[in-house]
Structure 1
Amino acid sequence: MKKTSLLLLSIALVSALLPVGVALARDEPITIYVDEYAEGQVMSHVAKDVIESEYDIPVELKTVSVGPAFLGVAHDERSLFLVAWLPRTHADYMKRVGDQVDNLGQMFDGAKIGWAVPAYVPEDQLASIADLKKPEIADKLGQRIQGISAGAGEMQVSKEALETYGLDDYRLITASSAAMTGALGGAIKQNKWIVVTAWSPHWMWSRFDLRYLKDPEGVLGGKEHVDAIASKGLKTSAPEVHDMVQRMHYSLEQINAMLVDAENTSYDAAAKKFIDGHPDVIAAWTGK
């Protein structure tokens, strides 16, 4: 009789504690790692708002450089990174952590990186990265390529481009994304020549008239797709969020519109505008 009573008491205690454990797990924030670049920021703000409103799970946005974002998702139990540029740009990072994370699929397709110049730079003089070796072109540019942050995947492949095309006299300038677009805008105001490490989608293509330089050696890669990666533990601790992110997908037109909105307002305002304007998209993501 005593054994039966103890067994029943144990079952009752376990049953009473289970909801508390689930609640505690749900109350623990999901971390979304975010790099400084606009498309990642605005998509992460959208994901945060949807997860918090639809699933009542708190989300923390953590802005870091790209390397720590990949490592963070690999080591955390409850985290996401929504802008893994593949197969080329972030290939080295993915190679390091690929077996420690879950790839949840494409957020959008048709992305691209490359070196860009203002459209007023004559194409018959500078059409290709290979043209940068010409002494008169190097003088025009001050032997500078305006880059972005040091840890960016594009900077890694840009260094390879310098070597591949024999541009030993050029300097790849490290700066923030904002500093790069500031330098671009300043050069355009003065009608000066400039080469920047560029990517699309980005609001600069809406604001400025630009073109990519041809890359005959294919060092910078072709079209990219942007994937979401998740920590291995997310599927167990927050399966509804894991499944939602698998269903998340944007068109390039939607991304471009959000980037322009974000530049004119803020990432948070652009995210809210997208959510309010696309209830059918959100319903498809959440399965509702």
Structure 2
Amino acid sequence: MRKSLKIFSLVLVLAAVLVAACTSDASEETKGRVKLAYVQWADAEASTAVASAVLEDMGYEVKEDVVSAGVMWTAVANGDADAFVCGWLPYTHAPYWKRYKDDVVDLGAYYKGARIGLVVPKYVPIESIEELKDHRSEFDGKIVGIEPGSGIMIHTREDTMPGYNLEDWNLMESSGPAMTAQLDRTINRKEWIVITGWKPHWMFFKYDLKFLKDPKKAYGGSEELHAIARKGLKKDMPEVAKVLKNFYMTDEELGEVMYEINVKHIRPKEAARKWVDEHPDVVKEWIS
């Protein structure tokens, strides 16, 4: 009996040693941990997943945190997150940039030609935001929005609604997924709906939509999506900073990933992995 106990104890010790060795080897193989923050927007989810896949291939452990826009900027400014790849500049995230520009590093634009505004299905027979006030009943006096702290909601609430005499309308707070779900239901019924929309977004690939003209420029003009990093990232993780600085996706490339995730319902990690594997030349430009 004692002999059996000794053998059993020896087995436990050896098992513990093996586990420790494996853990040590795994940690040695990891170049470091990168924390990427993002908001659950279609473009942000897709671009973050692609960036994560590339960094993981380079040997980094990547942790993705889904937060609100305000928390995202604050986290990077405070060093609680390393970076994010969904900074809308110069208009949408202007309030955040003004507040945190001295505490973060702009690594540059990874997507050009972005825009925000009010969007309706093409079958809705109006063309401008100016026409909304004359069709309040058809829209039930509602603008379907997303998270209250997002830049597009701030611009809609503070600039668009007062500027176009829509103060008596209700700006509905929800989320990106909830907004597109409402859009889908309404389009299936061929009813009127106006949403806070932005491009790039997969919904423009799935539905026939149009931006309402914004003659008063309440939403600004053309925008870019930027990679924003914490101060010190270039020194601490130069490879990571280099990849995020070189990171760039065209409308078609980002659209492919968003479509896989939101229309084909493939998990973001799997969609990103597929895209990275199919575009080695693009990835090579980012890491070289």
TM tier relative to shorter chain:
0.7 to 0.9
Does 1:62 pair with 2:62? no
Write the distance in 1 (CA, Å) between the matches of 2:287 and 2:32: 20
Unaligned runs of 5+ residues in structure 2 are 1-26
Does 1:90 pair with 2:93? yes
How far off is 1:258 after superposition?
1.0
Write the distance in 2 (CA, Å) between the matches of 1:239 and 1:208: 41
Instruction: Give the match's secondary structure for 1:139.
Output: coil
How far off is 1:128 after superposition?
0.8
* Corresponding residue number in structure 2 for 1:273: 274
How far off is 1:133 after superposition?
1.6
1:139 alignment partner, one of 131, 137, 140: 137
How far off is 1:78 after superposition?
5.8
Alpha carbons 1:78, 1:233 under 8 Å: kept: no
* Corresponding residue number in structure 2 for 1:35: 39
Alpha carbons 2:37, 2:81 under 8 Å: kept: no
Write the distance in 1 (CA, Å) between the matches of 2:133 and 2:45: 36
* Corresponding residue number in structure 2 for 1:191: 190
1:151 alignment partner, one of 149, 152, 159: 149
Write the distance in 2 (CA, Å) between the matches of 1:187 and 1:243: 44
How far off is 1:236 after superposition?
1.0
1:112 alignment partner, one of 107, 112, 115: 115
How far off is 1:185 after superposition?
0.9
Question: May I ask how many residue pairs the two structures share in their alignment?
Answer: 258
What amino acid sits opposite 1:218 in the alignment? K
What per-residue deviation string (whole Å, max 9, x for no partner) do you get for residues 167-223 of structure 1?
Answer: 121000001111111111111111111101111111111111111111010001221
Does 1:51 pair with 2:55? yes
Spell out the pairing of 1:159-178 with structure 2 (5 A cutoff): 159=157, 160-178=159-177
How far off is 1:266 after superposition?
1.9
Does 1:209 pair with 2:200? no
Q: 1:77 to 1:62 in 2, by over 3 A?
A: closer
How far off is 1:247 after superposition?
0.7
How far off is 1:240 after superposition?
1.1
Instruction: Give the match's secondary structure for 2:227.
Output: strand
What amino acid sits opposite 1:277 in the alignment? E
Alpha carbons 1:76, 1:231 under 8 Å: kept: yes
Report the TM-score when normalising by structure 2. Answer: 0.87
Alpha carbons 2:81, 2:230 under 8 Å: kept: yes
Which contiguous aligned blocks of 4+ residues in structure 1 show a shift greater than 4 angstroms? none
Mean alpha-carbon deviation: is it higher for 90-99 or for 43-52? Answer: 43-52
Q: 1:202 to 1:224 in 2, by over 3 A?
A: same
Unaligned runs of 5+ residues in structure 1 are 1-22
What amino acid sits opposite 1:57 in the alignment? Y
Instruction: Give the match's secondary structure for 2:101.
Output: helix
Report the TM-score when normalising by structure 1. Answer: 0.87
* Corresponding residue number in structure 2 for 1:6: none
What per-residue deviation string (whole Å, max 9, x for no partner) do you get for residues 221-246 of structure 1?
Answer: 22110000101111111011111111
Instruction: Give the match's secondary structure for 1:167.
Output: coil
Instruction: Give the match's secondary structure for 1:150.
Output: coil
* Corresponding residue number in structure 1 for 2:128: 128
How far off is 1:27 after superposition?
5.3
How far off is 1:28 after superposition?
4.5
Instruction: Give the match's secondary structure for 1:175.
Output: coil
Write the distance in 1 (CA, Å) between the matches of 2:81 and 2:260: 30
Write the distance in 1 (CA, Å) between the matches of 2:39 and 2:86: 8
Alignment RMSD: 1.4
Instruction: Give the match's secondary structure for 1:109.
Output: strand
Alpha carbons 1:147, 1:173 under 8 Å: kept: yes
Write the distance in 2 (CA, Å) between the matches of 1:248 and 1:27: 20
